[in-house]
Structure 1
Amino acid sequence: MGEKEHNIRILVVALIAVVTFPGFAKQELKIAASISNSSQRAAYYNLARAYEDANPNIQINITSYTSEIYKTKFPQMLVSNQYDILYWHAGERLFEYIEQNKIAAIDHIITTTEMEQLYDQAVIDAVSFKEKSYALPISYYQIGFYYPKPLFSRLKLSEPQSWQQFLEVCEILKKNNVPPIYIGSKSNWPATAWFDYLNLRLNGITFHKELMRGHISYLDVRITNVLKKIQEITTAGYFIENHQDLEWKQGLPLLFRNLIGMSMLGNYAVQGFPETVKNDIGFFKFPVFEGQSTYYEEVPLDVLVMPVTNNKKELTQSFIKFAALSNNQEQFNNNLGIMSPHRGAQQNNSSLAQEAYETIVGAEGITQFFDRDSKKIYGDQIMPLIDAFMVNLNIEYTQKSLEEVRLRILSDESNKHN
């Protein structure tokens, strides 16, 4: 054997040793996430690459599914022992799996004191169960009103703060042949957002949460009052016509072209505005009713959780601590076009995002949105009835239909336990 061949053989043996010897193998962390667009993909993959750069001996593999598929697969992913970290939602959708002992607490990773330093109490409450935290908050968005500043300026309109001011603005817009409110109720969630906000404003957060859990009758007069408000602004002609045939995204060009008065959106919608018009878009929170000094906001909160089946606890703890750093959360949410709930990750907010963030911080409490604050079976059956009400406006029929769903689900749950 010549010297050259001998050296090549030594090199091959050395490479085999590197690949096969455990001490040289990279550790693997498996993450599953809901990814439906390029912004979400960039957010997760940039976070993963940043972690790998800081930890060269670790490789992150991300499995992604679109939103609806992910929700369907999530229960099985929790128990499959296939993933170390999972994306999920805060609130009731988190608590139901904690109660089933499928999600592990993280208060040994980020202590109670550290959580209080990083997040507002309303955020902590949304990931805490029986005084333990079970998820790392990573993103949230606020639902409020966006409007074209040039249109408001031309009609000498100010941002309404109270419900009465809101109605007055709607009336002036209507008189000037501008549809006051765009709503794309074909998208399912916008109609429920109206129901949620009016319920929060009229009846408070405790009532709202109890209703979401199925503990309050939909025949309650307080629900009648919520539906009356929706009925009033619909019959007044303040919603755009044929909204049941429209998607929420179809309203964006109408908004920045001054063709509608306002639209209630999550602040993720801002990334759908061309850069040239963003400075012409204004924001205000859902109006309060006269005499109210406190308010509650709809703020869906996204989190990272650790399945109880996780067997790479040290590695997972390292990643969660990394994802909790302010600069990482800020970059993650800049990619997404929404906000981090982390107090220290607000340095590069756009003016619209900053307004939304200040609205959240000023709220007495936050809720997650109907389908996150209730169990899936509940939301799946209730939300279409609220959509239908936006068209039929039949309060008595709608309340009876809602109550029938509530009682049927309660009965089914009771039978399961017997």
Structure 2
Amino acid sequence: MKRRHLLGLTLPLGAATAAGTTVQPQGEALELRWMFSSGEQRTQWVRVMERYRPDGLPVRSVELEQARYKAQFEDQLRERPAPDVMFWFGGERLREAVRQGLLAPLDALAERDGWSRRFTRAALDAVRVDGSLYALPLSTYAWGLYYRRSLWRRLQLQPPATWDQWLQQNDALRAARVAPLTVGAEDSWTLGAWFDYLNLRLHGKDFHQGLLAGRHSWQDRRIRAVLEHWQGLWLRGDFQSGCERLGWRQVLPYVSRGASGMVLMGGFVALQFPAGVRADLGFVPFPRLRPRAPLVENAPLDVLVQPSHARHPRAAQAFLRHMAQPSVQAALNHGMGLLTPQHGLDPGDDPLQRDAAALLSQASASMQYFDRDSATAFSGPALSLLRDFVRAPEQPVEGVQAQLEALRQRLRRA
């Protein structure tokens, strides 16, 4: 299958392709839609597609950059007919599409192919809605702190395991004229990881899960503790000056050059660094804030779904069976720097992937992520409020608590 076939998506008449041009409808084909965050991820997907040899229909696929893909996802599900297979996320994002009747259940496929034996419990829980499975688990990854090991050796530092060690490390980095931390806060979704981990480390999974589900008040004293810990890092000068107005990709060169010490990101970020820098990256979990508290990690699940109105449901099922094969998933995920959510698969030789796999194997539980564990109507505005908070961290935390609670109450009444 030629690359030009992979990138030539059939869209509704006059629709835009990834390159921004318009195309006319083409002949019958299995239509796939895929999201990527780096050119290497896109390349890995294309390689997998080139090895797929279906009986009958040819394959057409389009790959869109993540911001555009997420903005268009629901509209594409509502097309008549819809694409046959699409990339998406586990957790609440999946449940929202299921509740609207936009996704086909995959229970028959899962039972025939023994998903319950092959996939991890966490992966299946993330795609189960009201007892049925609605997505094929494809990739997962851990969130943690990335840093340059050579910088730590030069400054004779050890990655922190506790909050006190973290503060001491940050003091040493500032003394060496290195900004201890950076975050691309202009892309407000990056702030979700900071809130997630501070709340999980302080108060555990049950409270955090209930909070994101709308069952707890944002004016709870526990949220004040979370925001005050976070505020303290900003007021100490631990974050890179100006990073609150930079995007997530824009802050990575500061880590590459050793101008910033650490960035909190998911495993997909490794491919954003040049190969030479990538070989020098270290990865550590978010430090403990309470001794002996269970460690809960962010481990988002990426999935493939079959829209309810897919034109070729049988061909879609055949493709999903192909993509469920351990060898296929392992090849894709090794190339993308991600992990395969199936039992017993080697994470590969890459040290970052091995460290991430070890972290998840030792975790007591996992979460999807702030904006994958809460309703879309809440998460977007809430993350914008958190961005306003870090842009003016000297403000009283009670103010942002009141705004977040007002948002929760407004959505409850809607």
Q: In 2, Cα distance between the equivalents of 1:38 and 1:273?
A: 12
How has the CA–CA distance of structure 1 residues 186 and 74 changed in structure 2, closer, same or farther, with 3 Å as cutoff? closer
What pairs with 1:261-300 in structure 2 (closer than 5 Å)? 261-300=261-300
Partner of 1:289: helix, strand, or coil? Answer: coil
In the other structure, the counterpart of 1:111 is 111
Q: Can you list the C-alpha shifts for 1:10-35, whole angstroms capped at 9, x where unaligned?
A: xxxxxxxxxxxxxxxx9732222224
Q: Can you list the C-alpha shifts for 1:329-349, whole angstroms capped at 9, x where unaligned?
A: 122223433333234553534
Deviates more, 1:28-37 or 1:384-393: 28-37
What pairs with 1:2-401 in structure 2 (closer than 5 Å)? 28-35=29-36, 37-52=38-53, 55-80=54-79, 81-111=81-111, 114-310=114-310, 312-393=312-393, 394-401=396-403
Partner of 1:373: helix, strand, or coil? Answer: coil
Q: In 2, Cα distance between the equivalents of 1:351 and 1:332?
A: 17
Q: TM-score, normalised by structure 1?
A: 0.85
- What amino acid is the match of 1:395? V
Q: Please say if residues 329 and 345 of structure 1, whose CA atoms lie closer than 8 Å, have aligned partners that are also in contact.
A: no
Q: In 2, Cα distance between the equivalents of 1:370 and 1:103?
A: 23
Q: In 2, Cα distance between the equivalents of 1:36 and 1:272?
A: 9
Structure 1 residue 369 displacement after superposition: 1.6
Task: Give the unaligned 5+ runs of structure 2.
Answer: 1-26
Partner of 1:264: helix, strand, or coil? Answer: strand
Q: Please say if residues 255 and 263 of structure 1, whose CA atoms lie closer than 8 Å, have aligned partners that are also in contact.
A: yes
Q: TM-score, normalised by structure 2?
A: 0.86
Partner of 2:166: helix, strand, or coil? Answer: helix
Q: Please say if residues 184 and 250 of structure 2, whose CA atoms lie closer than 8 Å, have aligned partners that are also in contact.
A: yes
Tell me which protein shows more helix as a share of its residues. Answer: 1
Q: Can you list the C-alpha shifts for 1:379-407, whole angstroms capped at 9, x where unaligned?
A: 11110110111122230111111111111
Larger Rg: 1
How has the CA–CA distance of structure 1 residues 335 and 404 changed in structure 2, closer, same or farther, with 3 Å as cutoff? same
Q: In 2, Cα distance between the equivalents of 1:116 and 1:356?
A: 23
Task: Give the unaligned 5+ runs of structure 1.
Answer: 1-25, 413-418
Partner of 1:186: helix, strand, or coil? Answer: coil
Q: In 2, Cα distance between the equivalents of 1:119 and 1:90?
A: 14
Q: In 1, Cα distance between the equivalents of 2:354 and 2:130?
A: 32
1:406 and 2:405 correspond = no
Partner of 2:34: helix, strand, or coil? Answer: strand
In the other structure, the counterpart of 2:14 is none
Q: Can you list the C-alpha shifts for 1:85-119, whole angstroms capped at 9, x where unaligned?
A: 12111100101222233222212112298324322
Q: In 1, Cα distance between the equivalents of 2:37 and 2:165?
A: 38
Q: Please say if residues 256 and 280 of structure 1, whose CA atoms lie closer than 8 Å, have aligned partners that are also in contact.
A: no
Cα RMSD for the two superposed structures: 2.2
Q: In 2, Cα distance between the equivalents of 1:399 and 1:30?
A: 45
Q: Can you list the C-alpha shifts for 1:16-67, whole angstroms capped at 9, x where unaligned?
A: xxxxxxxxxx973222222465334323332222222xx3533112244433
Deviates more, 1:70-79 or 1:349-358: 70-79
Partner of 2:164: helix, strand, or coil? Answer: helix
Q: In 2, Cα distance between the equivalents of 1:79 and 1:349?
A: 41
Partner of 2:371: helix, strand, or coil? Answer: helix
Equivalent residues, number: 385
Q: Please say if residues 27 and 57 of structure 1, whose CA atoms lie closer than 8 Å, have aligned partners that are also in contact.
A: no
